[in-house]
């Protein structure tokens, strides 16, 4: 889908009449960012036809089973998503495009949580870049009202449990998702101490993808490919109990390659009384639909809707994150 978004952006930037000229002279694919497949789709769409590629997709997925009634009902209670990325870090789309996709889904808000500076592989935001992003978000919020982009960060948890951004900036953000991205094979005791320190940090609102597992390979920036990896080892009962004590929500990460935490740990978190945030960790607009995955797992493990923080209004949510 990234190739089609790129091609669409190229077409949008063409001067009046240039698209017709390119189509008539068969030079559309001479433009950087438009290949044979995307070029054919553009020509067919311009002629008023359904692109063959889209028609094949619709046929291939026409038999998809709709959400079960209880999952659909649970999904309808979600007002927003607290873990999303834009092209400011390792996402593939501008902030506005992500926000407009969230609006189309009926969301009332979206927390923008690009990566923190230590995660250079994901183009993490320095303090200076994050400050500039806050100005961009403020301007977009004026334009997109009543929808709200909540300021935020996915903050890397250092080995000592500290968070990868200044206290001053973290205090200015609406939502802080704290996640482990390094030394994932550490001994259980060390990982537990690291996570306990992060959960206890007053700036931490959500503990992101707690086990760090990857179920299937995935592509990263610049052609990097991550292999599947097992869960990190830690004392889940101690960490989830600390989440309850400090008012930190446990993320139900809906990415298909994560589905984190695993069902047995999610059931434990439910039993211990944790709050939850059902998030997509979306890096592209279409991925915002992945909340269905998290809702299925929430229903399966008996998560109470009232304990899911992104079923709350933006004002209720901000009262919680600043309380």
Tracing tokens 């939502």 back to the chain, one arrives at 175
Torsion region of 26: left, alpha or beta (phi above 0 gives left; psi -120 to 50 gives alpha): left
Binning pLDDT at 50, 70 and 90, where does residue 221 land?
A: low
Residues pairing with 268 in the sheet: none
Extract the tokens encoding 152.
Answer: 């935020």
Instruction: Identify which of 111, 57, 52 has the alpha carbon closest to the alpha carbon of residue 81.
Output: 111
Is the model's pLDDT at 261 over the cut of 60? Answer: yes
Where along the chain do its domains lie? Answer: 1-61, 69-322
pLDDT of res. 26: 87
Measured in degrees and rounded to the nearest 5, phi and psi for residue 207 equal -90, 110
pLDDT of res. 6: 66
1, 142, 225, 226 from 121: Cα distances, Å: 22, 32, 12, 12
Is the model's pLDDT at 5 over the cut of 90? Answer: no
The set of residues, in sequence order, having a beta carbon less than 8 Å from that of 142 and lying 6+ positions away, is none
Is the model's pLDDT at 247 over the cut of 60? Answer: yes
Long-range contacts of 119-123 (CB under 8 A, 24+ apart): 119/89, 119/156, 119/164, 119/181, 121/90, 121/220, 121/221, 121/224, 122/89, 122/90, 122/220, 122/221, 123/88, 123/89, 123/90, 123/221
Where is average pLDDT lowest: 112-116, 120-124, 172-176?
A: 120-124
**Residues 222-232: tens digit of each pLDDT:** 556 667 889 99
Per-chain mean pLDDT for the chain: 90
Given a contact cutoff of 8 angstroms between Cβ atoms, the answer to whether 270 and 303 are in contact is yes
The set of residues, in sequence order, having a beta carbon less than 8 Å from that of 16 and lying 6+ positions away, is none
Question: CA-CA distance, 143 to 262, in Å (whole number)?
Answer: 39
- Number of alpha carbons in the 13 Å side-chain half-sphere of residue 24: 5
CATH fold, domain 69-322, is TIM Barrel (3.20.20)
pTM of the predicted model as reported, rounded to 2 decimal places:
0.80
Is the model's pLDDT at 9 over the cut of 70? Answer: no
Question: CA-CA distance, 289 to 278, in Å (whole number)?
Answer: 12
Where is average pLDDT lowest: 156-165, 210-219, 284-293?
A: 210-219
**How is residue 210 annotated by DSSP?**
T
Question: CA-CA distance, 75 to 105, in Å (whole number)?
Answer: 11
pLDDT of res. 65: 60
Question: CA-CA distance, 214 to 21, in Å (whole number)?
Answer: 47
Given a contact cutoff of 8 angstroms between Cβ atoms, the answer to whether 291 and 81 are in contact is yes
The set of residues, in sequence order, having a beta carbon less than 8 Å from that of 18 and lying 6+ positions away, is none
């Amino acid at each position: 889908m990234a190739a089609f978004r790129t091609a669409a952006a190229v077409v949008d930037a063409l001067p009046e009449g240039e698209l017709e000229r390119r189509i008539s002279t068969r030079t559309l694919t001479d433009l950087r960012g438009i290949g044979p497949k995307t070029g054919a789709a553009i020509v067919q769409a311009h002629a008023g036809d359904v692109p063959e590629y889209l028609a094949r997709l619709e046929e291939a997925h026409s038999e998809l089973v709709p959400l079960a009634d209880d999952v659909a009902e649970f999904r309808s209670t979600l007002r927003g998503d607290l873990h999303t990325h834009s092209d400011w870090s390792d996402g593939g789309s501008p902030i506005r495009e992500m926000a407009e996709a969230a609006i189309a889904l009926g969301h009332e808000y979206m927390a923008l949580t690009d990566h923190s500076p230590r995660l250079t592989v994901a183009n993490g935001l320095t303090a200076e870049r994050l400050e500039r992003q806050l100005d961009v978000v403020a301007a977009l919020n004026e334009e997109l009202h009543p929808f709200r982009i909540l300021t935020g960060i996915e903050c890397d948890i250092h080995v000592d449990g500290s968070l990868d951004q200044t206290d001053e900036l973290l205090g200015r953000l609406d939502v802080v998702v704290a996640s482990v991205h390094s030394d994932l094979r550490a001994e259980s005791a060390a990982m537990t101490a690291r996570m306990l320190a992060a959960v206890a940090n007053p700036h931490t609102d959500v503990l992101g993808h707690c086990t760090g597992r990857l179920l299937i390979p995935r592509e990263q920036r610049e052609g990097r490919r991550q292999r599947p990896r097992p869960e990190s080892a830690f004392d889940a009962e101690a960490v989830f109990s600390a989440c309850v004590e400090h008012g930190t929500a446990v993320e139900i990460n809906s990415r298909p390659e994560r589905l984190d935490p695993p069902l047995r740990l999610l059931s434990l978190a439910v039993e211990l009384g944790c709050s939850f945030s059902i998030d997509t960790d979306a890096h592209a607009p279409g991925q915002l639909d992945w909340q269905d995955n998290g809702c299925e797992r929430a229903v399966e493990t008996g998560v109470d809707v009232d304990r899911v923080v992104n079923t709350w209004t933006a004002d209720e949510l901000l009262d919680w994150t600043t309380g």
